[in-house]
Chain A
Amino acid sequence: MNTAVDRTGREAGTPYQGPLLDVRDLHVEFVTRDGVARAVNGVNYSVRAGETLAVLGESGSGKSVTAQAVMGILDMPPARIPRGEIRFRGRDMLKMGKDERRRIRGRKIAMIFQDALSALNPVLSVGFQLGEMFRAHHGVSRAEARTKAVELMERVRIPAAKERVNDYPHQFSGGMRQRIMIAMALALEPDLIIADEPTTALDVTVQAQVMDLLAELQAEYNMGLILITHDLGVVADVADKIAVMYAGRIVETAPVHELYARPAHPYTRGLLDSIPRLDQKGQELYAIKGLPPNLLRIPPGCAFNPRCPRAQDVCRAEVPELFPVAEDDGTPLEGRRSACFFWKETLHDR
């Protein structure tokens, strides 16, 4: 076992060997005027200390809603969690009281949002917003919080941190603002960070810098990281494993490089084929036909069947479970699962 698990074990009083975060059969629904939108339909995933899980999916796939449920920041109502467990170090957070839950937020599990300009409070200085973490959780003085804020800003390599600590979010560039978001998440050295599309709002050159910084800090603090994205390019270098989501379900999980090399689900295949490639110059771009399903009316059977080139009758009748994926000779592929009745055929597709 690595050191982080030992550390968590000590803090819990009894040695805890399991994953940091373990989401089991999570269901999230939104009650709307038109009916119940089933945003998350039985998601399972786990993250260990030091591990990076990338959750991939289109908008509406339930990737952000799952993360918000883990974080405990869903607005309930309209959201509700009819079933499932979200275990943090073995304890189901859904059964915790409000106060206990709040003390985990920010301190043990922190979140980085997509658009730092709107996610930061426009009328409070960044130094204040960073220092607030220490004041709320550790009760330090205002002056001490400010000193810590400067340290954090230096930590994420914001130039002239001391001079800029009293500046407001709108006075920073997009990349610097996202660094401040990262600094805020890092403030109390949490065990787990959830980054919801942390680079989507940034320029491509800045994206790489911010991603590198995040990966570096994660390694340094040995944190678990959940990286939510719709951008396959972002995850390739930093993620250990990938979970692909569609219509509120995980349709495929795999170690990152294997998923790229040999997808075992037609949806993943479609996603990979939609990436523009230089050698296809002049050809029309590939796009998965059709649209993601309306969450109020998810089609019966496999939710992807109306758009799937491989769909058979069984796909329209039964919901496929997450089958373990194996080689032709029966050798199981570690960590690989696919929710497709024809995972074997898909694996061989070229």
Chain B
Amino acid sequence: MGSYVLRRVLQMIPVFFGTTLLIFVMVYTLPGDPVTALFGEKAADPAVVASIKHKYFLDQPLWKQYLHYMGNLFQGDFGTSFTGRPVSDIMAGAFPVTIRLALLAFVFEMILGLALGMLSGLRRGSVQDTLVLVLTLMVISIPVFVLAYIAQTVFATNLGWVTPTVQDSYDLSQLVLPAVVLGSLSLAYVARLTRTSIGENLRADYMRTAVAKGLPRRTIVLRHLLRNSLIPVITFLGTDLGALMGGAIVTEGIFNVQGIGNVLYRAINTKEGPTVVGIVTVLVIIYLVASLLVDLLYAVLDPRIRYA
């Protein structure tokens, strides 16, 4: 187990450097000059442009810029955006919003997804099974922005329960609707994955053994069936939590949630290199940690992996 964890942690190092280098190169080789763009319509003074470029190391070769950036990063410095605001400041404002949104969406998709999956998986071919299959298929087929607009129309315009867009991104209750929209696609996948997994395990020999042992049905389902069926579902959920933390550009955009997705979108549009690289770097780290945790969790749940 110890060597397994160590191996997994060591594997993260090349992935980290590879992905950050890639995003760095992509951001800084994009056509267009962000510094000139800062001046808008006005003609830029070449001396000022040069001095700004020097300040942001933009006059250096790309590999030097990357090394310089990484050097600062390991001292906890994410750099400064072209507006002069530290990138870490920008992230500190947006990440708490995204974390709330992601956790809400995660709880929603996990609880409802598992419940629906169990409901249909335990009674294959029943009315509720067919209903779950049709509903989840609909959710999977509809693009998220359509779903978001439908939710806005129904819950804000028609029912008037909420405001169409979020007024205060730090208010948890206002984040519920965006979270439901954000989590709905994964909810459909969780429900279907749970259903399939339960269906497979119901036919397993060890289930027949559990019945032959004279165990109560509750025990058979909770202890024997679910314990085995949920292994792939938990793997999916873990990876998805990492993905949700990355913010949702479309959902956050439609609902005006001031989270990381919105900030990233604006930064890309204004060619705010330091902000984009900083945010993506953090996202890479979050994703790596999440998948490490999933792998460890997997080993805890399935002894065949633990001792392999």
A133 to B307, CA, bound (A): 26
CB pair A119–B214 under 8 Å, yes or no, is: no
* A/B interface sample: 24 pairs, CB < 8 A: A71-B212, A73-B212, A102-B214, A102-B215, A104-B214, A106-B214, A107-B214, A113-B205, A113-B208, A113-B212, A115-B205, A118-B205, A119-B209, A121-B227, A122-B206, A122-B302, A123-B231, A123-B301, A123-B303, A124-B227, A132-B213, A132-B215, A168-B303, A184-B209
Contacts of B223 in A (CB 8 A): 124
**Contact A111:B212 (CB < 8 A) given known A119-B205, A123-B301, A171-B307:** yes
A120 within 8 A of B: yes
CB pair A184–B227 under 8 Å, yes or no, is: no
For this complex, into which size category does the number of interface residues on chain A fall? 20 to 34
**A105's contact among B214, B301, B303, by CB below 8 Å, is which?**
B214
B256 within 8 A of A: no
Distance from A198 Cβ to chain B, minimum over Cβ atoms (Å):
13
**Chain B residue total in the interface (Cβ 8 A):** 23
CB pair A122–B228 under 8 Å, yes or no, is: yes
B11 within 8 A of A: no
Distance from A189 Cβ to chain B, minimum over Cβ atoms (Å):
14
A226 within 8 A of B: no
A297 within 8 A of B: no
Instruction: Scan residues 108-131 of chain A and give those whose CB is less than 8 A from a CB of chain B.
Output: 110-111, 113, 115, 118-125
Q: Which of B214, B223, B303 has the most A CB atoms < 10 Å from its CB?
A: B214
Could you tell me which B residues sit within 8 Å of A by CB distance? Answer: 204-206, 208-216, 219, 223-224, 227-228, 231, 301-304, 307
CB pair B216–A136 under 8 Å, yes or no, is: yes
Main secondary structure of the interface of B (DSSP, over half): helix
Closest-by-CB residue of A relative to B212 is: A111
CB pair A110–B215 under 8 Å, yes or no, is: no
CB pair A123–B213 under 8 Å, yes or no, is: no
A115 to B219, CA, bound (A): 23
A171 to B301, CA, bound (A): 16
Contacts of B304 in A (CB 8 A): 122, 168, 170
CB pair B213–A121 under 8 Å, yes or no, is: no
A91 within 8 A of B: no
